[in-house]
Amino acid sequence: MAYSQRNEFEADSQGLVYFQHAGFTLDGAIGAFGVLDSADYLMFEDTLDLRHYFSFDGYPFKSYWLDTENSALQWARDTTLYMIPDSLKSHPDCDVRIQRIGELAATDSEQIIVVADEAMVMEKLKDVFQFESLEGQLMARDYVMALYMRSSTSNPLS
């Protein structure tokens, strides 16, 4: 694994050279690693705010709707079970890769292309993909997953 991670650092440094020669900014490279890093986190891991989501003026949320008596199992989850030690990863952590490319980057690199509103475009794409994904769940008749995904996002479209 250490050998694989060394190769990844080499690939990053080569990629950075190509990246800069193509005229992209260092910020873009770091941003790309940031996006990769965010993919390591489960999108819908957080506790849902069902009290807020399923409460209406004429029909307020009932506290017993979240009673666990009807659940077959008590489902307290040990999240440490899902952490992978760094030594077992084929790729180094993204924050380490960001630090390395920051050190490698030439200070006098030409900065030709700056993509305006990159973050806004990404947010819009995220909304569209989430909407498409929700629609797919409904078509597949996986209604629980559709509700779960919908109540985990802030997409006004859905």
Partner 1 sequence: MTAHALIELAAAFSRNEFLEYVEFADMNYPTGYNQMLTFLHNMNSATLFRLATYCLQDKLGSVPDHAYVGFLNTLNEHKDVITEEVVKLYAQQYKDDYFTGLLWDKAKSPLPPSRK
Give the residues lining the site for partner 1 (CB under 8 A). Answer: 42, 44-48, 50, 54, 56-59, 64-68, 70-77, 134-135, 138, 141-144, 146-148, 150-152, 158
State the minimum distance, in angstroms, from the CB of residue 121 to partner 1: 24
Distance of CA 28 to the CA centre of its chain: 17
Output 9 or 54, the one with its CB closest to partner 1.
54
Query: Least CB distance from residue 89 to partner 1, whole Å?
Result: 21
CB of 156 to partner 1, least distance (A): 9
- Residue 135 in contact with residue 48, Cβ under 8 Å? no
**Cβ contact 28:19 at 8 Å:** yes
**Minimum separation from the CB atom of position 34 to partner 1 (A):** 23
When the beta carbons of 18 and 59 are compared against partner 1, the nearer one is: 59
What's the angle, vertex CA 43, arms to CA 148 and CA 132, rounded to 5?
65
Q: Between 2 and 83, whose beta carbon lies closer to partner 1?
A: 83
Q: Is the Cβ of residue 1 or residue 66 nearer to partner 1 in the bound state?
A: 66
The nearest distance, CB 47 to partner 1, in angstroms, is 6
Q: 101-111 in b/e burial notation, b at 16+ Cβ within 10 A?
A: beeebeeebee
Give strand pairing partners of 56: 59
Residue with Cβ nearer partner 1 (30 or 147): 147
Rg of the Cα atoms in the chain: 22
Interatomic CA distance for residues 79 and 42, integer angstroms: 11
